[in-house]
Structure 1
Amino acid sequence: MIDDFLAGDLTDVEEAVRKAAAAEIMPRFRQLAAHEVVEKKGPHDLVTVADRLAEEHLTASLTALLPGSRVVGEEGVHANPAALDALHGDDPVWIVDPVDGTRQFVHGDPGFATLVCLAHRGELLASWTYAPALDEMATARRGAGAFLDGKPLRPGPAAPDAELRVAISHYDFTDDHEKRVLARLDTPGVVPRPCGSAGLEYLNVARGTADAIAFTWPNAWDHAAGLLLVAEAGGASATVAGEPFRIGGGNTMPFSAARDAGTLARILGLLAA
């Protein structure tokens, strides 16, 4: 079933992502009322009516495209943590972040994205990173490359003498220990900065406008689409323990994804120092 689905052109999935954003996200961009924004765990962890409705829209459309599949979405897991168990099952799973970069969305910043990744038994198979306010769609398929608006993504290695541009976990979402670990990247030859939308930071790595990311949180919906995008663009990723990042959890934090293996090794070496 999953092999037959992947053998298609997958344009129906891309269209489903675009339709969800057009119906539920963009009409509310810069139009949110105060009661449509709610704090989850604190003032920096926000959810909006657009997040919830877009995830419901995607859940219906994606499972219709692939009968027997399940959805693990940020808002669904927040409401029912047991939904995360689907990542360990035998059914194909759509990993969804309906509005990645909700804080940016709430503040009227176009730097947010809808992230969708299809996985099966822990393997990332295909992904879609859509920035509706920027009208950018990045796609990847296992073994078939990464693309931005239909054009191949292939950043290649960083220049030997270039400063490495690294997006790191935003300070508002890190504890004191994580701040100390990430501070190891504040060294000559590396220029760290707080990340925006995680999905768009992965896209920046895949197209070479950033060299790496270094993140300290494990949520599958934030990373699955981007990890496949970077891998298919020729990049590399690993945890600070030198292991592949597992979408089902159990990872040693932090982890990094980079435009090439050499850059990844350098970033992990600093984080592990």
Structure 2
Amino acid sequence: MSFAQLCIYDLDSGAVQTVLKTDDHIEAPNWTLDGTALIVNADGLLYRVPLDAPTLTPVDTGFATGLNNDHGISPDGKTLAISDKTEDGKSIIYTMPIGGGRPQRVTPNGPSYFHGWSPDGQTITYPAFRASTGDTAQIYTIPATGGDEQQITEGFDHCDGSDYTPDGKWIWFNGEKDGAVDLWRIHPDGTGLERMTDDAMVNWFPHPSPDGALVVYLAYPEGTEGHPFGRNVSLRLMPADGGTPVILTEFFGGQGTINVPSWSPCSRKFAYVTYASK
């Protein structure tokens, strides 16, 4: 049995298409702007998976060979943001051409983990651990060309999975308070914090659809700590303005399934990864 399966969920039909089965531990698909391929990571490197002939095709990331699964494609489809530990021994955010090339450093400090582009491509949002926050992960933004970072959350025990809405008015993220992990949204200037889920599940990695109508996210069972690999999980869908989520599919997965934005450009499909024991 294959270890990882790269899948596409179709909202209109409810069908799941298995694009690729592999013994490699692939993670975190992005969907290219032209709709022809998915980008995944495995073993510290990036790979392109053409949808018309699905194979793992290496992407040149230069010196960056210690990538984690936090990467994403700019709104114009020309640039990749990656998170890599090669230089500092801890995750740093870089940008590079979508077709490959030398990464350019964005965040001066680490650990920092890419999670979302602003719709104009000018800003990146990410969770980061900083001594100034007691080494708890909070959500930050920074110009995509580098510069001063801005902390936009506070008071959470842990934050992750930040992603802009396509109108740029909100950043969604998962935040832990008092032992509960829910989805939240906040304006990019750090105002207007709103809690968007309030249930017993452990909710992670919210991704607004490109048309702004929906949010897909990963739900762990009650009592799960962190966002581990190898759990029975579900992908859920909710309206972008809040409301009751629906369960789309359940499977064995977790860390690596849908860490980063993976919607198709048409907003009717998204990609994700499931796993099985070898």
TM-score relative to the length of structure 1 = 0.26
Greater helix proportion: 1
Greater strand proportion: 2
User: Does 1 or 2 have the higher relative contact order (CA < 8 Å, sep 6+)?
Assistant: 2
TM-score relative to the length of structure 2 = 0.26
